[in-house]
């Protein structure tokens, strides 16, 4: 795996890349709201060595922190095409985790011929919201915790790792391999270390995945084979995943291209960072 810069208008995107062996397929991977390309590390470990990998740092995150706006999800979906074109990949298995699920759904709707198939990893379906809440309240609930973390200066890499070790979704399930994945997002500041993520980019994405009707309807319009992976537990390890099984099953009933895989005893984070990684890799391999 190596970091490559992909030119875009006004800047560049960073991708973590491995070329495929001759005749092998390629997987393009899109991370979550505040993540980066390394969140796929554990999944990549379970992919065949011959398989090509393009793990994106999307605009405003990780190695693409300085990539210019716009930060809307359709622009990022178009960045997938730019990456495939630049690396001369005609078709790929396109997988998106959390926020990435909405992005790859848009890509699948707009560019179905470029997709061998899609894998939505606990993301891509908008859960109906409480009608008593207004849009800003919903957005604050979704994006608020992520934005709060971006404002914290950590005095050391170890203190940032400790932050995640104490996180409700990871504390009980902590594995040593998780540390380098999570601390990769840090950048040095005058006060210590801070997450490399653009707060404006996070806010734009948070709004779109919660209240934008075109974004939320994209999975129902897909015409390529798509596997949606949902889990038993949520972002705080609470019962009930990010996408309830009933919501996923209803979507599958509305679109025969959707296949649902339910994974018990993992949460939103351990699905890719922990013991759920082999399941995700198997879905990508097909």
Q: How far is CA 200 from the centre of its chain?
A: 17
> Does residue 236 fall inside a structural domain?
yes
Residue 81's CB is within 10 A of a number of other CB atoms, namely 13
> Does residue 199 fall inside a structural domain?
no
Domain count along the chain: 1
> Does residue 204 fall inside a structural domain?
no
d(CA 75, CA 78): 5
Produce one character per residue of 167-196: b if its CB has 16 or more CB atoms within 10 Å, e if not.
bebbeebbeeebbebbbbbbeeeeeebbbb
CATH code (residue 121): 3.40.50.1820
- Single out the residue of 207, 254, 246 nearest to residue 226, CA to CA: 254
pLDDT in tens, 93-141: 999 999 999 999 999 999 999 999 999 999 999 876 555 555 566 566 6
**Consecutive H or E run containing 8:** strand 2-8
Check if the beta carbon of residue 215 is closer than 8 Å to that of residue 252: no
d(CA 23, CA 132): 53
Q: Which residue has the higher pLDDT, 12 or 214?
A: 12
Q: What's the chain's average pLDDT?
A: 92
- CA–CA distance from 35 to each of 3, 31, 40, 112, 117 (Å)? 16, 6, 10, 26, 23
> Does residue 195 fall inside a structural domain?
no
> Does residue 50 fall inside a structural domain?
yes
> Which pLDDT belongs to residue 286?
92
> Which pLDDT belongs to residue 250?
93
> Does residue 274 fall inside a structural domain?
yes
Check if the beta carbon of residue 92 is closer than 8 Å to that of residue 27: yes
Q: Give the largest Cα separation in the chain, rounded.
A: 55
Residue 40 tokens read as 């796929």
> Does residue 146 fall inside a structural domain?
no
Q: Which of 4-8, 183-187, 240-244 has the highest mean pLDDT?
A: 4-8
d(CA 52, CA 284): 12
Instruction: Give the domain extent around 95.
Output: 2-133+214-285
> Does residue 161 fall inside a structural domain?
no
d(CA 36, CA 270): 16
Residue 145 tokens read as 């915790």
pLDDT in tens, 18-36: 999 999 999 999 999 999 9
> Which pLDDT belongs to residue 150?
84
d(CA 69, CA 89): 25
């Amino acid at each position: 795996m190596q970091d490559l810069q992909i030119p875009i208008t006004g800047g560049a995107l960073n991708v973590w890349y491995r070329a495929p062996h001759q005749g092998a397929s390629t997987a393009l991977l899109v991370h979550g709201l505040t993540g980066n390309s390394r969140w796929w590390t554990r999944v990549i470990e379970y992919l065949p060595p011959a398989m090509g990998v393009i793990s994106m740092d999307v605009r405003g995150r990780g190695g693409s922190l300085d990539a210019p706006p716009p930060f809307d999800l359709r622009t990022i979906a178009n960045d997938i095409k730019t990456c495939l074109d630049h690396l001369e990949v005609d078709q790929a298995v396109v997988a998106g985790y959390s926020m990435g699920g909405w992005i790859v759904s848009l890509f699948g709707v707009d560019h179905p011929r470029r997709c061998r198939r899609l894998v939505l990893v606990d993301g891509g379906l908008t859960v109906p919201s409480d009608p008593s809440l207004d849009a800003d309240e919903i957005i604050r609930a979704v994006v608020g915790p992520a934005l709060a973390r971006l404002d914290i200066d950590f005095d050391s890499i170890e203190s940032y790792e400790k932050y995640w070790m104490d996180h409700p979704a990871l504390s009980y399930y902590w594995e040593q391999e998780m540390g380098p994945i999570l601390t990769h997002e840090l950048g040095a500041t005058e006060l210590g270390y801070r997450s490399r993520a653009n707060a404006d980019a996070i806010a734009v994405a948070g709004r779109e995945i919660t209240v934008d009707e075109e974004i939320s309807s994209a999975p129902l319009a897909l015409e390529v084979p798509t596997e949606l992976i949902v889990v038993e537990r949520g972002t705080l390890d609470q019962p009930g995943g990010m996408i309830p099984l009933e919501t996923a099953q209803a979507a599958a009933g509305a679109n025969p291209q959707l296949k649902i895989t339910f994974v018990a005893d993992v949460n939103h984070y351990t699905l890719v960072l922990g013991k759920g990684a082999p399941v995700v890799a198997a879905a990508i391999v097909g």
